[in-house]
Structure formats: structure tokens, C-alpha cells
Amino acid sequence: MRIIKKINEGWLFSKDAKSVPSHLPHDWEELNLPYTWNGKDGQDGGNDYYRGVGYFAKLIGKDEFPDGDEIYIQLDGVNSTGKVYFNGKEIVSHDGGYSTFRAKLDGIKDENLLVITADNSPNNYVYPQMADFTFYGGIYRDVLLIGVNKNHFDLDYFGAPGIAITPTVNGKNAEVELQAYANGKVEFTIFDGENEIATVTAEGKNPKASAVIENVHLWDGVKDPYLYSATAKLIVDGEAVDEVSSRFGCRSFKIDPQKGFILNGREYPLRGVSRHQDRPDIGNALLEEHHREDIDLICEMGANTIRLAHYQHSQVFYDLCDERGLVVWAEIPYISKHMPDGFENTKSQMTELIVQNYNHPCIVVWGLSNEISMNGSSKSLLDNHYMLNDLVHSLDKTRPTTVAVLTACSIDDEYTKISDVLSYNHYFGWYGGNAAMNGPWFDNFHKKYPDRAIGLSEYGCEALNWHTSNPEQGDYTEEYQAYYHEELIKQIAERPYLWATHVWNMFDFAADARAEGGENGMNHKGLVTFDRKYKKDSYYAYQAWLSDKPMLHICGKRYIDRVEDTTKVTVYTNQDEVELFANGVSLGVQKKGKYPFFYFDVPNTAEETKICAKAGELTDESVIRKVEKFNEDYIMKEEGAVINWFEIETPVGYYSINDTLGDILASFRGKLYALRLLKTLLGAYSADGSDGKEKKKKGEKKSVMGFSINKTMIEMAMGFSVKRVLMMLGGKFTKEQILEINAHLNKIKKPKKVLNK
């Protein structure tokens, strides 16, 4: 029978070596796996982290190998191209940094030099190469040795587990098809816990058999994620010589364009988050305890679905999703930039994703790509998607395909019609437009394409430890993020046809090219901080909406010093009513309305005010202090972004930089000034390397970044405030220049149709 041994300890590492060593080096760094060399430089900003080759070496004695007629090495994650050298000979090369691959080890000697290279260098054929996250180099998951009999389940088939299990629910029973990847006679056994409930045999090449589970116990989401297991034994001369096993769940599901996601015959709206896996200093080199902490936080929030972006995640995490009943969207890193030379790589990564994860009941869709039409939908891109869509259906007839589409891609684009179901990544209210645009956009899509299932695959905004009493788009405050997610929750709740919605993102994550929000190298859209230590207020908004477990939270606990005499305090709870006290004095009881968000006006005249919320048996407390001058520690420390709400003159009935371009264009004088301002902005944009002077071919539509300028893009632009546009230019305008623009706008009177909005 097979023996598996983990060999994570006692490696030597160098990224300065020039070639594969012929003997064990003595001057390399000692370390244990998992490991990435980008744990620091991939998280500090500047987009200058090391992307190249790292060398890992280990000497293995003959007695350290597991027993077996044949020995394989298994690598669960080497980013992004991994090569294995055994006693000086290259035995395998693998392109794709997030999936399992194996190779047979021949010619084992008394002492054996094992060298693995990991290469995350830029190229034009291995995905991803352009994306908003750090591509950590290294061996960041387990390395195993597997000893097997000369007759064994296939270890060369794309890292697959050797057994594929396909349950089909039919009334009270489930028919389970079992297939083994081996040649010969195979005995299959299904277990309910420790009890054997069915045994069947089959033989031949990759034999199949089927069995029936009567009165089947369904895998039923977070309420009851029940699991069975199946074992396959390879029988030779009446004896079992190899064995593989896998857990599985029996469930039915479909995605309905009108009713959304349906699990086991009932409507089951998928409401949850996306997840990036990395952490401070260790990047993607996670231990099991890190995966468990992540899923605990997600489940505590009340989510019932996770989009595992933008690559194959650890088997540990898929197993946890099976156990917790979280419905999963799994995808490959075919993202942002289509590469014509990457066609075969998308094919191999998709094959690995499916065959390695086929048995997980948590997975319900395979994602073909994410925002891949960023530069338009070329024939090469479309051909790649048609190929992938057909490939998925040939490998898995039980799950549909999906894509995550960028806002700027037209809903009529051919690309959006290839996959079985569809989702869009929308950031109305952050990168453009306003938060109120999200729901109507989906209504328009749903009206035009009522037979197409549509979801919201990304939405979110960034928040750090900045604070304000007047939150606005683009200020990176915790208060705006909370407001934004309150608004999105309301719009999602009103649209049951949305088959799945996934917040971007559950956790802050590293994106070394970023320089936003006052902390470089990070994307701060997480509901929880990068170190998993602080749950932002928006996390509790979702917990109040989604969780059945009683909860109560006062927002703004990090926003203590406040200048106003009366300040707004928001409370989230899923209880029927909440009462708020300020220094022991009741500010009244509010009963739960349609949404679990409560707003109180709190006097802020005392030197310190202790706030206490009570809901049922629950209490929560916070403190505010009255100050005369706004606390500078709450203001974002970023060049060109130091203007705060209290510095901007906003005379009643007149424009300011807080108004949107759309509103300013609504008046004649506003339009004249906007044209002058636009000329100034284009000049600043030109200084950034894009002069917009590219000539348009005859008959060619106007475009931006390859996209035809469409109604959605125009609406997004009109939804930007002038201040947001100026801030997005990244320091091109000084504080004084921005306030001067505001002064000009203060002289332009708003028309009635704007005043009455």
C-alpha cells in the first residue's frame, strides 16, 4: 500500500545561484517549507519585488525514502514555473504556480541530491502576468514523497487523486458513479462515517462502477454540510496493492435566471466574499492554522459562499469549505491580460483545477477568467474562451462555467455570452459613478437578458484607519466603507435574481504595484485587515445581515476624537431593537426596520462620552471625546490627498469640488467651467504619459483601453466628484490648486434640478 512522507524540513535556499548545483551547497540559507522570497519586498510597494529564479536543495539518503516499488515526488504549489532535478537530471517542468504536480524518481542511490527551482520571472505564456496582487515566488505548499507498488493508481494524470466521484440525487436516494484512474480490478467502498454502506467492483482501464445510497443525507450548505467518503482499492492476485480515498457530498443545485441559486430544491441566495490567501511576511506560504483562521472569520460573519480568487487554492481550504458548507466558485488565474501564447497554459491549469478538485461538493462553478477583456475582446481571446468552455464541459458534466466581467465590457459583447452563467465586477461608488448605480445596472441587464443568470462577482472599496464624520467616495475612511456596504446590502437584498454576490475582498491583501490610501503595496478593500487582527465596521454590517447568531456592534470605535457638537453613531445588530445610552442617558429605542442598521444622533459636548448599546442580552460599548481641532491622525497621509471635508467651502446653492461632473454639467456656467477644467485635467493626464492623441482609424469607434466608449462608462465618469478626479491623478495638483478650483465652483449657482436631487 502507498506510503506518503512530507519532506518540508531541512532545505537550503539561494536566489543568487546561477545554475543548478551538482552537490549540496554549504553557503546557502537554511529554511523549512513552505517558503516565499517575496514575504517582505512583495508587500512594501514600488512594484520592485524580486521576480526570478530561486533554488532549493536537499540531500536525501536512501533510507529516508518511503518503501515502494516506485517513488514519486509531489509538489502542491511552486510559483510560477517549477522544475525538479534529481541527481543532476531534470525530471519535470511545470508551468502554473497554484496546482499540484508530480514526477517519478528513478535511479535512487545511497545519497541523492534533490533540487527544485521556482521561477516567477515575467513571461508571455504562464498566467498570471498582470493582476492586482503580488505573484509570490517560492515553494509555498507541501512537498511529499509517495511510495507505491508497481501497480498503482495513476500518479501522472494532472495531479489528480486517483478517484472521481459523481453523486446524482434522485428523490430520497443518490446514485453514486465511481471511477478509478488505474488499470485492473478495483474495489470501491462507500462509507457513512465508519459504516460501510456499499461495495462494488469494476475492472479494466480507468474502471467505473455505481452504487445507490438510500435515504441519502444531503450536503445542505452551512446548516448541514454532510459528507460521505469513498475508498478505491486496486486488487492484484486477490490482494489490495494500492488505495485512494476521498470525501464527497450529495446535493443538487441549479442556477435560475429569475430565482438565483437553488440548492436541493430550495432558493438559497449565495451571499459572501472573495478570498486572497496571503499574509504579512509569509505571503502565500500558509500553514493549516492560517486556513482555519480564515474560514472561521468568514463563517462567523455569516457568509455562505466564497469566490476563491484568482487561482487554485490549497486542498486544505477546499476541504474546510466542504466541512463548513460554504459554496465555492473556483477559477484559474486567466486574468487581466490575454496572452496569445498562453493558450496551452490556460488549458493545463483548467484541467488541473478540475481533476484535482472534482470531488469537492463545495464547488459549484468553474471560473474561466477574470476581467480578461480589459483591452478588448480579440478573436484570440474569444477562441481561448470557447476552448476552455468546451474543455470544462468535457471534464465535468455536473457544473456550469462562469466568468467575472469588467464593468467597462459591454453586456452585448460576444465574450459575455460564452459561459453558462455570468457575473460582473462593479465598483460604482468607488472607481466611478456612485453606489446607487449598482442595482439599476443589474435591473437593466436583467430586463434585456431575462434568460441569463447574472451575479455580482466583485464589489467593494478601500478603508484604512482614517476617519471622518462626512464620508465621501475616495476618502479611504472606515466610515465610507461602512456606508458603501450598507448601500450595496440594501440593493442586493432587493434583487433575488442575483445568483451570487461576492464582496471584494474578505481580507486586505498585497499588491506591490499599488500606492493608495497612505500605505503602499496593499489593496485595502478587505472587511478584515491583512493580519486578520481587526474587523472593520463593514464586516459587522454583513454579520448583522447574514448571521443567525445574535450580534451587536457600535461602529467607529477607532474614531474617538470628534469636533462636532452632535455626532452620528451607527449600530449594527440582528436583534429586533436596540437602545443607545450616552453617559448613562438613554437616547431612545429603535426597532429594526428592513435592514439591521441603526443611526443615532449623539451629543458630543462632554470631555468624554461613554456610549453603550443594548439589544436583548447583548451589550457593546465605545467612547468619543469632544475636541476643538480635528485629530490629524485621522487624515490620510498621502500626497495630494490631505484635504479633509471641513476644509472645503460648500455654500448652499453653489457648486463645490464635492459635486459630480454630471451635476456640474447640468448648468450652462457649470458646463463652461467644466470644459476649461477638463482641458487642465487632460494636460495633467498627458504629463503622466498618455496624451490621448492616438489617431482613430476610419470607422473605428472611440475607445479607452480597448473598450468602446459606452453608456456605462459615461455614467461612471459623470458620477465622479471633482475632488475624486483630482485625487486620482496622484499628486498632480497641490492642495492650494484644488482649493482654488473649489473657489471657482463656489461662484457657480446650481440649477433647481440639481438642488432638488
List residues with catalytic annotation: 371
Cβ neighbours of residue 687 closer than 8 Å, sequence gap 6 or more: 732
**Cα–Cα distance, 663 to 719 (Å, whole number):** 9
Beta bridge mates, 142: none
Which amino acid appears at position 204 of this protein? G
Residue 221, CA distances (Å) to 502, 503, 601 in order: 16, 19, 40
Cis peptide bond prior to 80, omega within 30° of 0:
yes
Which among 318, 357, 322 has a CA at the least distance from the CA of 226? 322
Q: For residues 576 and 640, is the Cβ–Cβ distance under 8 A?
A: no
**How many CA within 13 A on the CB side of residue 617?**
2
Q: Can you give the three-state secondary structure of 314-358, one letter per residue?
A: CHHHHHHHHHHCCEEEEECCCECCCCHHHHHHHHHHHHHHHHHHC
Q: Can you give the three-state secondary structure of 45-103, one letter per residue?
A: CCCCCCCCEEEEEEEEEHHHCCCCCEEEEEECCEECEEEEEECCEEEEEEECCCCCEEE
Cα Rg of the chain (Å, integer): 28
DSSP conformational letter for 701? P
- DSSP per residue, 126-174: SS-SS-SS----EE-S-EEEEEE-SS-S-SSSTT--SEEEEEEEETTEE
- DSSP per residue, 207-263: -EEEEEETT---EEGGGEE--EEEEEEEEETTEEEEEEEEEE----EEEETTTEEEE
Q: For residues 111 and 63, is the Cβ–Cβ distance under 8 A?
A: no
**How many CA within 13 A on the CB side of residue 75?**
32
What is the b/e burial string over 190-217, where b = at least 16 CB atoms within 10 angstroms of the residue's CB?
bbeeeeeebebebeeeebebebebeebe
**Cα–Cα distance, 96 to 358 (Å, whole number):** 18
Look at residue 475 and give its three-state secondary structure.
coil
**Cα–Cα distance, 362 to 62 (Å, whole number):** 40
**Cα–Cα distance, 538 to 532 (Å, whole number):** 14
Tell me how far the alpha carbon of residue 344 is from its chain's centroid: 24
Which amino acid appears at position 589 of this protein? V
- DSSP per residue, 647-691: GS---TTB--TTSBHHHHTTSHHHHHHHHHHHHHHHHHHHTTT--
Helix locations, 451-536, DSSP H: 478-493
What is the b/e burial string over 520-537, where b = at least 16 CB atoms within 10 angstroms of the residue's CB?
bbbbbbbbbbbebeebbb
**Cα–Cα distance, 510 to 525 (Å, whole number):** 11
Cβ neighbours of residue 266 closer than 8 Å, sequence gap 6 or more: none
**Cα–Cα distance, 326 to 328 (Å, whole number):** 6
